[in-house]
Each structure stands twice: as C-alpha cells, then as structure tokens.
Structure 1
Amino acid sequence: MAYVKVNGVKLFVRTYGDGAGEPVVVLHGLHSSHASMLPVINGLKKKYKVIAYDCRGHGRSEKPVNYSLKDHSEDLKSIIGHYGLEKVNVIGFSMGSYIVQQTAILSPDLFKKIILIAPKSRGAGSSVEELLKGQGISLSELSELKLGRLLSRQLFSPGTSFLKKIKPMLLKRFSPGLTSVQRMTASHALKGFDFTVDLKELPAPTLILSGKEDKINPPELGQETASHIPSCEFLLFEKSGHMIHFEEEKKCIQAINKFLS
C-alpha cells in the first residue's frame, strides 16, 4: 500500500496480484473506498495486476473542501501514469462508472476494455442525493449510520440474504468514515453530468452490468448507457439490486473474467 500524490492531493493506493498479468484499475462507489470492491479485486488478482485506490474525498485519501468529476478523472489518468502504464483495463462501480466514462471521453485511447457496474450516463447529481430529495430528506441531516439504514432497502434486492447485506458494512471498517460535510462535498462533485452524446465516440469494448432490483441506478439507466456505446455488451443480473458484486458475486466475477479474457 502507498500514498501517491497527484493533482495536489494524496491518494491511498493498493496493488494486488503478482504483477504478471495485465493491469486492471478498479474504482469504487460514492461515500465508500476501494475496500468495497474487494469481491472484484479478489476475483481478479490471481490473473491480473489490480490497482485500486480511494478516490479523493473518500477512504484514506485526502479530502479537499471542493472538487469535481473532472478532478476525479484527472486523478485516474495520473494514477495510470504513475505506474508507467499506457493502456489499461478499467472497472468502475456506480460513482466509479461516472469517473471512467468521463475519463474515456477525455482520453479515449487510455483504456483497453471498460467494465461499468450499476452505471448511468447522465444525472443532475449523485443518485443517492437525488433519491433522498425525492423523499424530502437532506443528505446533510443524516449520520453515516442513519444513511446506511435508510439506503439498505434501496441497495439490495428483496431476496438478498442478510449475510450478503452485512458484508459491505463489515468491509467499511477498513476505512475511515466520512463526516456529513465530506459526504455532501463528495455528492456535489457529481452535479450535472451528461455523457450520452460523447459516448458514441468511445472506441473501447465495454461491458455493463445492472441489477434488476437496483433502486439507486435502475437497469434502464444501464441499458441507456449501453445504447450509446458502439461496442457494448449489457448483462442484467436478475437477483441483484445495486450491489451486484456482493449479491451475485460469483456470477459477476465470471462475467468480468470472461469479458477481459
């Protein structure tokens, strides 16, 4: 593990695997850390060199008072450059999928293959904040514990077992929590993006995974994203909500490995 300074901030980065395989960069979702992607990381590290990091404002990375989606994109490009890589495979979950799309549009030759888990290609802001606003709740009013409880029904399929639901919460122990101000800052970084037009120029083969019961980024948004990318495969996970890589972990890893190989 190491801290890498890019674009004026220190990011917490970890590499997994023996380094013999192709590099795969993994990006996590909003208000989380790279630890939340461990099911994916562990499923790939025997074959690939996996690079995972806590995005700015998250986990153990520095937390600036202001930043944007473009800053996230510049960070991703700089992390890839830091390791001396010219072209990589990349996996982005939820917020991570927005960062990957933005980066692919700005630097289309940077990615060999792209995997987007629970994505959307446009939005007024973060899906979590939009969901809460629809219920008349402000993100700033909630503690991390209350937010987790409130979102639990939105994140998972009704049929998902308690053991699968609790695993992401257990992994959160490996990273510092965010204050309400830091959560608001992270959400505001995602305000007002629309990639739908620019995605039509994306050259990299892409795989999109969406959960049928996802209330955060419903599968229609994944299908819409796929419809804009020239070379794209869309897979619907019938027994998942937003947390596909926990709810149908084995099937998710199999799909990713098949696509990458």
Structure 2
Amino acid sequence: MIREAHANGIKLVYREEGDPTAPPLLLIHGRTANHNDWNGITQHFAARYHVIALDLRGHGASDYPGSYELPEMAEDVVALLDHLGIGRATLVGHSLGGIVAYHLAMNHPDRVERLVLEDAPPPLPIPNRPPIVEDDSTGFDWRMVHGTEPQLVSPDPAWLTGLGRITAPTLVLSGGELSHVRAEEVAARIPGAKLVTINVGHLIHTAARGRFLQAVDAFLDG
C-alpha cells in the first residue's frame, strides 16, 4: 500500500507491507533510488514485521524541497515514525540511507530498536573524488545529488564522534573489496557493532539477496 505523510514540513511517500501490529521495520534506500529498490526484500520481512519503505526527500514521489542536509533527512524519518505512531523501529539503511539511519541512531537513540547498515560510507573525508556529472537519469532531484556530495566528501568531524553515541545493537554489512565504500570504518566506531562482509560490491541486497537476507535475519533473531 502506497501512502503519504506530511512530516517535518514536507510530503513523504512510503510503502507499507505486513501486519501493522507487528514490530516495525523501516527500509531506507540509497542515493537516487526510491522505495522500489527494496522490491523482493519487503515481502520477505513483511512475514513478521510491519515494513515501511519510504522515498527520502529529493527521491521518488516525495517532495523535492531543495535542502538536503543529511541530519535533516534523518529528522524526516523521525517525523514519519511520529506520524505512524511508532516509538521504536528497526532501521535497515543502504548507502546514503545507511548514513541517514546512523544519524537517526546517534541523535535519537531511544527511537532505534536495532540498526542494519548496508555498505554505508563512514563520515571520513574522501580524497580525489571525481566531480558529479549529470546525465539523463530521472526519478530524483539532481539538487539532492549536488547537495549531499559535499557532505560525503568532507563530512562534519562531529559525525565521526557521533557514531560512538549509538546504543542500538548494530549490524554493518560490507560489500568487501569490490565496493568503493569502506564500511568496516563505520563498524569500528559503533560500540559493539557486528561486521559481516559479503564480497559482491556496493549493492549487496541486489547482487546477493539470499546472503543479505540470511545475514540480516540472523542478526535480527539474535
């Protein structure tokens, strides 16, 4: 079921699956994707969770407000949880969605039951990153790409410290040597985080769906 909410001053579109009385599990897609990135994943979790897969601001059918600060994107998710009457949720975030998820977990520890970060970039400077070149891709706001890029390349140093404030049990999935992301740097800074490497590159949940689901299930059941 596709729904929309007015949350944190913008329209957020989201998809709901599963029993609304089951434990809530929120899926947060990566940059330039949308809730459809989780097709095939939502159905698996909907067997025992109330699954919510949103379009982040600047993506899909949600609003394109022009401002794309990563901590503010995390506040959007908190506002969506408030709209849905959800106190605590398990968060699963891929790439940029993982950054949004760890900002939420560091700033609102009381709202996160468990945290799964799929190949999420650490808040460390990225040297020699090539500039963004626009193409004819649609379905997202190019201003979001340009607005988030400086925050990825030269993140606020306080964000690295913030990872140490995360209290939720955390699973970090790394795409290994085939990925451009060093997710193990995230795991090293979150207290007690478990690191699992699936050496298929950045898009673990599509390149190795079965192994992705097996790792997440084992963590959530643990």
Tell me the TM-score normalised to structure 2 length. 0.89
SS at match of 1:18: coil
1:96 pairs with 2:90: no
Q: Percent identity?
A: 27
**C-alpha separation between the residues in 1 aligned to 2:134 and 2:53?**
31
Matching of residues 152-231 of structure 1 within 5 Å: 177-178=139-140, 180-187=142-149, 190=152, 192-194=155-157, 195-217=159-181, 221-231=182-192
What are the Cα deviations for residues 88-136 of structure 1, in whole angstroms up to 9, with x where unaligned?
11101000111111111111111111000001221447x9xx74x1xxx
Partner of 1:249: 209
Partner of 2:88: 87
**C-alpha separation between the residues in 2 aligned to 1:188 and 1:64?**
18
SS at match of 2:40: helix
Amino acid at match of 1:247: A
| Contact 2:31–2:95, Cα closer than 8 Å, also in 1 | yes
Structure 1 unaligned regions, length at least 5 = 145-175
Higher helix share: 1
Amino acid at match of 2:24: P
| Contact 1:14–1:53, Cα closer than 8 Å, also in 2 | yes
What are the Cα deviations for residues 33-86 of structure 1, in whole angstroms up to 9, with x where unaligned?
011122332221111110110000001101012231121011011111111111
**C-alpha separation between the residues in 2 aligned to 1:13 and 1:106?**
23
Amino acid at match of 2:209: E
Q: Structure 1 residues 80, 197: closer, same or farther in 2, change over 3 A?
A: same
**C-alpha separation between the residues in 1 aligned to 2:202 and 2:180?**
6
Highest Rg: 1 or 2? 1
Shift of 1:214: 3.6
Amino acid at match of 2:198: F
What are the Cα deviations for residues 112-166 of structure 1, in whole angstroms up to 9, with x where unaligned?
11000001221447x9xx74x1xxxx4244332xxxxxxxxxxxxxxxxxxxxxx
Shift of 1:28: 0.3
**C-alpha separation between the residues in 1 aligned to 2:151 and 2:193?**
27
Partner of 2:197: 236
SS at match of 1:66: coil
Shift of 1:206: 0.3
Indicate the structure whose relative CO is greater, using CA pairs within 8 Å and at least 6 residues apart: 1
Amino acid at match of 2:132: L
SS at match of 2:79: helix
Partner of 2:132: 139
SS at match of 1:109: helix
Shift of 1:182: 4.9
Q: Structure 1 residues 140, 228: closer, same or farther in 2, change over 3 A?
A: same
